[in-house]
Amino acid sequence: MIRGDISRNTLLALISKACTFPHLAETHAQLIRNGYQHDLATVTKLTQKLFDVGATRHARALFFSVPKPDIFLFNVLIKGFSFSPDASSISFYTHLLKNTTLSPDNFTYAFAISASPDDNLGMCLHAHAVVDGFDSNLFVASALVDLYCKFSRVAYARKVFDKMPDRDTVLWNTMITGLVRNCCYDDSVQVFKDMVAQGVRLDSTTVATVLPAVAEMQEVKVGMGIQCLALKLGFHFDDYVLTGLISVFSKCEDVDTARLLFGMIRKPDLVSYNALISGFSCNGETECAVKYFRELLVSGQRVSSSTMVGLIPVSSPFGHLHLACCIQGFCVKSGTILQPSVSTALTTIYSRLNEIDLARQLFDESSEKTVAAWNAMISGYAQSGLTEMAISLFQEMMTTEFTPNPVTITSILSACAQLGALSFGKSVHQLIKSKNLEQNIYVSTALIDMYAKCGNISEASQLFDLTSEKNTVTWNTMIFGYGLHGYGDEALKLFNEMLHLGFQPSSVTFLSVLYACSHAGLVREGDEIFHAMVNKYRIEPLAEHYACMVDILGRAGQLEKALEFIRKMPVEPGPAVWGTLLGACMIHKDTNLARVASERLFELDPGNVGYYVLLSNIYSVERNFPKAASVREAVKKRNLSKTPGCTLIEVNGTPHVFVCGDRSHSQTTSIYAKLEELTGKMREMGYQSETVTALHDVEEEEKELMFNVHSEKLAIAFGLITTEPGTEIRIIKNLRVCLDCHAATKFISKITERVIVVRDANRFHHFKDGICSCGDYW
């Protein structure tokens, strides 16, 4: 072969020094001119360099100009195209198998597996590697672990990892990274601990990789242990390690240490700034977050979407609407608003600030919606009480290519629970089964909550028993569910079982069990639990705990004890406590104590019309109509308006809402005819309308008419004419069910031989054979 004046070594040196495509093109020309166009070492080096500068088309053309490429050149092509969106790498792998006599080596398999566009193809490559004897190769194993973790096949990744006879630092790091990426934080920390215990050499990547898991777990002691280990091994002052430690201490609410660590970084980069800004923001120190954000801008570094997401005070949004709007303006100018993570964070903060229209506008204008964006908007609607909008948006999501994840499911189940949409909740349950999400602890807990709040406590209990993994929230949910339905003994039994199994009760646990005691008349038990909470578990009671204790005593008729309890409270009693006492005064018709409670309430919460209504009703019960009238007159003078009562009933998956005296329904004539028929039968059985709390200046006959058309009676009548005989009727009332409707529903359940389940503002009532589950104690 005739060659020019330039040697191979010179050409290789020119290729190594070239950093742009024009330089490489000139070198390629020299390569041809000097007769090295088929020299595999030179061509391989040039091909590799073409990939480095992004000239993939020219790299492909160069490859096909070589008559007999070797395995090294194939490997360069497979690796080079691994970052391509198409399946070029796999095509070259297939070309290698079908059109040459060459055998793939460990690098071939590692590069091809890394380039695999899906897990199924990755499994095929895994099988090929096993057949060719490369299943124990460290390079191939690391690629397989990375592949399986990338596609959330964590169990497969773990099998590959566990079966390796020898494991190097890279493989351990890959396994830890994959577990963190899949939110398996406990497992990733455990693998790290195993690595240390087995004496495997750690590097700075190992430490930096595991720290995000520690941060998410908020395990400050583990973080400090890793920090000590990093100091011992000489990695502590590595920038990536310091950044990871900043995240750990920030997430563990130690921002002072995070700030100190940040000061140890000689030249903080964008990632370090992001960690500190996010740390201050998530700890409610918004001013400090803004300060460091400004410092970052002054340093001349270009902010990223992660910077903006960390700056947005999602965890402590209240009082920061102006800041959120300013951040949005900056994001629009900088172009980061186009990043889904940024628009989703802004959607979330607007939702939490109850600026739901701004949130929806952002969501609608987002050019690239993600599952997280759908979740933020659905959750925003659910948390704002706009449950029908949440369900509607979820249904719209189901028509897209997006698949709901556990966050979506828990949000929509929350909406179903609020609305009492049992039929829709059941359809979501079917979706959960089809997606195999039942084992997710958050999904299973949300399901239990949905069934309990939609009136099906037996289904909730069954699901609870079948749930293999439970946390404190799961136990709290079931205990609260029992309390909601008046099953105080079951709630107490579950609470004791929870303690026996070693679960640590939270403030919410005690609130749930005290609530159950109050609705079941368990005075002694409630008193013991409250004192155990304070003295044994050292949990400081909130206003809700105190209100529950007042409710327990008040409902049982121990009003003086309730007042004494209030006066001995170590904190100033608020509206919740005095309001509970006023409600107990209504039950037991104690005007004197009612006056004491109402005077405090009118001072503490003068705009709440409910307290005026309660006091007026108490006076009406005692036939003190002038006093009742004066209270109502005060309401008129203050321009206060009572929340109108409404009742929802779901029939064949369609919700129907009734208000008092409603005649807007398409079946109004049949509804009122049914109600009149029932009233006649009820009177024959001894029913008399409870009209004592009605306006005193209305004739008795007119009072009866007012009560006969209460929304819950209309809903029950509608349920009776639209459902099959013998089926259960479920209704939801937005206010506390009145004395008259409670009595009437008992008669209706006996006459129609139906079970009628009523959810009011306080609890569930199960009516059957003329008896209510509450035992007239509500």
The b/e string for 663-675 (b: 16+ C-beta within 10 A; e otherwise) is eebeeeeebbebb
% pLDDT > 70, the chain? 95
Find the mean pLDDT for residues 512-533.
94
- Per DSSP, the residues of 34-59 read TT-TT-HHHHHHHHHHHHHTT-HHHH
pLDDT of residue 585: 86
The tens digit of pLDDT for each residue in 729-741 reads 999 998 888 888 8
194, 226 Cβ separation under 8 angstroms: no
Q: From 1.10.510.10, 3.50.50.60, 3.40.50.720, 1.25.40.10, which CATH number describes the 542-642 domain?
A: 1.25.40.10
Q: What is the DSSP code string of 202-260?
A: P-HHHHHHHHHHHHHHT-HHHHHHHHHHHHHHT-TT-HHHHHHHHHHHHHTT-HHHHHH
Torsion of CA 169, 172, 177, 182, to 10 degrees: 170
User: At 525, is the secondary structure helix, strand, or coil?
Assistant: helix
Q: Give residue 542's pLDDT band: very low, low, confident or very high (50, 70, 90).
A: very high
Is 369-469 a domain of CATH 1.25.40? yes
| Sheet of strand 729-733: strand arrangement | 654-659, 646-651, 729-733, 756-759, 764-768, 771-772
Q: Give the model's pLDDT for residue 698.
A: 38
- Can you give the pLDDT at residue 704? 40
Residue 413 is classified by DSSP as H
- The kind and range of the H/E element at 657 are strand 654-659
**What sign does the dihedral 602-608-611-612 (CA atoms) show?**
positive
pTM score: 0.74
Average pLDDT over residues 658-685: 91
Residue 251 gets the label, from left (phi > 0), alpha (psi -120 to 50) or beta, of alpha
Q: So what's the pLDDT on residue 641?
A: 65
Query: Mind listing the pLDDT tens digit for each residue in 192-250?
Result: 999 999 999 999 999 999 999 999 898 999 999 999 999 999 999 999 999 999 999 99
Nearest CA to 721 out of 685, 675, 760 is that of 675
pLDDT for the residue numbered 701: 36
201 alpha carbon, distance to own chain's centre:
38
Give span(s): CATH 1.25.40.10, the chain: 542-642
pLDDT of residue 55: 87
Is residue 132 scored above 80 in pLDDT? Answer: yes
Residues 265-316: tens digit of each pLDDT? 989 999 999 999 999 998 889 999 999 999 999 998 889 999 999 999 988 8
pLDDT tens per residue across span 342-388: 999 999 999 999 999 999 999 999 888 999 999 999 999 999 889 88
pLDDT at position 153 is 87
Say how far apart CA 616 and CA 440 lie, in whole Å. 49
